[in-house]
Amino acid sequence: MGGYWFCHTMQGEFRIVLTRWAGRDRVVLSYEGEALGCYETAEAALDRLIHGETYKPSCGLDIRQLALPTTLTEWVFAPAARH
């Protein structure tokens, strides 16, 4: 498991990151490196993001005012680097 989806906006970058947390596969949603929530699936993270149901960025950005892509296929996926 690894990699992440990202979306660049004029206000900054959002990421939906596949990770392992507390012994479980999870997804962390972040804005400019600041975690906005942890979810079971990437789809759940994106749904919460586009509906404004995440933690708010500390900069005060109103996420609901952004025209974010609403499906993961519209985001760019960056696979984890292989060593």
The pLDDT tens digits of the residues spanning 44-80 come to: 999 999 999 999 999 999 998 899 999 999 999 999 8
Q: Is residue 64 part of a domain?
A: yes
Number of structural domains the chain divides into: 1
Q: Is residue 29 part of a domain?
A: yes
Tell me, yes or no, if the pTM score tops 0.85. Answer: yes
Calpha distance 75→8 (Å, rounded): 9
Buried b (16+ CB within 10 A) or exposed e, 35-63: ebebbeebeebbebbbeeebeebeeeeeb
Q: Is residue 58 part of a domain?
A: yes
pLDDT of residue 83 exceeding 70, the answer is no
Whole-angstrom Cα Rg for the chain: 12
Residue 34, domain extent: 4-78
Confidence at 1, pLDDT banded by 50, 70, 90: low
Percent pLDDT > 90 in the chain is 77
Q: Is residue 42 part of a domain?
A: yes
Q: Is residue 59 part of a domain?
A: yes
Q: Is residue 32 part of a domain?
A: yes
pLDDT of residue 60: 92
